[in-house]
Every structure is written in structure tokens, then in C-alpha cells.
A = this chain, B = another copy of it.
Amino acid sequence: MSPIRIAIVGVGKIVRDQHLPALAKNADYQLVAAASRHGTVDGIDNFKSIEAMLDAVSSIEAVSLCMPPQYRYEAARTALEAGKHVFLEKPPGATLSEVADLQALAEAKGLSLFASWHSRYAPAVEAAKAFLASTTIRNVKIIWKEDVRHWHPNQEWIWAAGGLGVFDPGINALSIITHILPRPIFITSATLEFPENRDAPIAASIAFSDAQKLDVSAEFDWRQTGKQSWDIVAETEAGEMILSEGGAKLSVNGKIAHDEPEQEYPMLYRRFAEIIKEGRSDVDLSPLRHVADAFMLGRRKFVEVFYD
């Protein structure tokens, strides 16, 4: 099979850090063009808009959409209408309803739509899932605390309404937890902390349950300085499981059970090639649905102003 002729839309930090290296190492793809208002990619044709790019380079077969979620629907619809497969960076859109609309369009056109959740491909996630399936879980705590000034410097879109705030990293935890737990969970209460000068939350505290009343909690905080935490801790009948470093490492009862190199984006692109080949889509909206549920059900609390 000849390589998939792919283009990138929205050239920013995540594209340079992750998408370009992953594509460069994967023989299933040939990167042929990029479209971005500000960024460019060396060695290929660059355009200011997806429309200009699709007009000029008709051989494109697939696009990766990496702009902020508020602008993703338009681009995704344009690409699908033009007959291209679509890879959506996370979160897949600004609303659940617009992604549902894209799903229907991809289905009608016989194209592959991929709602990517990179953290699900973190090295120890499958091992954690297998461990949890082998025992009885007593409770689960998600602790996702990072320094937004370090990880998202000057990313204004992330603080705008629709930018999700602390749920931007938090949705990574949600994408893991919805994958590794044995039963679907749902939010029973939440508190969202909004800085007085921001339209998106800087912290969130969430309680979940499931059909068997499993106690699952999440603490998301963007004000963490010093040690950063991206941990999921499960108390089980077989002992304490810690999935740490955003899914990279697993330990059970203090013993390291899994520690391999990170391959998230390479695996995402392998998955995208696979679903294109199989002629189907992969769109699991449950992580974004939990975010929407948290905003709908959650109590709003105001906290002090926050500047980058």
C-alpha cells in the first residue's frame, strides 16, 4: 500500500513536539502540506488556510487537525466534504453536538474520523487495565496537578470560554480512566474553581460513581508548583496500584510493574492508519462527555485572579 498523503492543519507546539516526529518515523504516511495562520513546516508546501491548501494540493488523502478546539468543526467539515480522512487532536471539538455531527458526516461519506486521546496510548495504560480487571477495586483517586505557567505559557485560547481550562490536561486523565475501569462511570458532584478574571476553570474536584457504587474521585489543579502529579491511584483487593506520570509508569504495592519508553503519538498515527485501512471511524466521546457533565452538574466557585 502506498503511503497516506497527509496534511497538518494548525502548526503549533504540539505539532512540532509530537506530530511531526511521529509522522517522520512512520512509513505509512507522506506529509505533503500544512496550513496554519502563523506556523509553517519546513520542506513542504505551506498555506494560510485549509481551504487554500485543499484547493492547491488535491492529492491530500487525510488531514490532522491541531488548531484550538473552538475552530476545529469548520475545518473538519471542510475536510470531510472534500473527501479526506480526519484526525482530531484532543479534545475532538468545542461541543459534543458538533462532533456528533461530524461523526454522521464521516459515516455518510465512508471516511475515517479519529477522535484521538493520546494518553490512552501511554506505555503502562494497558497493563493497568489488565491489573484492574484481575481484582476487585475499592476506590480510585485521580490526582492531576500541574503548573499551567510552565506547560501552557501564553496559550490564551485555553482560558477562553470553550477552552476548557484545567480540563485540557484533566481530559487526559479522563481518557485513561474511561479506558481502564471495568464499568462506565458518571459524575455525582463537582466543584469548579474559576479565577475571577478567567472564563475557564483553574481547578476542579469531581466525585464519580458507577453501577456498583465504586468511589472514584478526581482532583485537577493548574496551580501546582514544584512536583507535578499525573497519577491514578487504585486501592484494590490485590493491593495499591499507582499509574503515574500520565500513564507512563505502573507500580503495584510499591513494586514497579511496567516502565517502557513513551510512544503515544507514534501509536496514535498507527491507529489512524489502521482505521483508514479498515474503512471505519474511532470516536469515543466519553472523556469529553464527562467534562460537559462536570460543567453542567458542577458548583462554580470563584478564586483569586490568575495571570500567566
Contacts and interface: CB of A to CB of B under 8 A. Distances in A.
A109 B308 CA distance: 52
Contact of A291 (B186, B187, B296): B296
Given A95-B186, A297-B95, A211 B77 contact: yes
Contacts of A184: 97, 100-101, 104
B300 A194 contact: yes
A161 B194 contact: no
Contacts of A73: 186
A296 B297 contact: no
Interface centre among A77, A97, A184, A199 (most CB of B within 10 A): A97
A297 B100 contact: no
A52 to B, nearest CB: 19
A162 B297 contact: yes
A243 interface: no
A296 B95 contact: yes
Nearest to A191: B161
A147 interface: no
14 contacts: A73-B186, A95-B297, A97-B184, A97-B290, A98-B186, A100-B184, A100-B289, A101-B186, A101-B210, A101-B211, A104-B184, A161-B190, A194-B300, A292-B296
- Among all A-B residue pairs, the 6 with the closest Cβ atoms: A292-B292, A97-B186, A95-B293, A98-B186, A295-B295, A161-B299
Interface of A: 73, 77, 94-98, 100-101, 104-105, 161-162, 164, 184-190, 194, 199, 210-211, 286, 289-293, 295-300
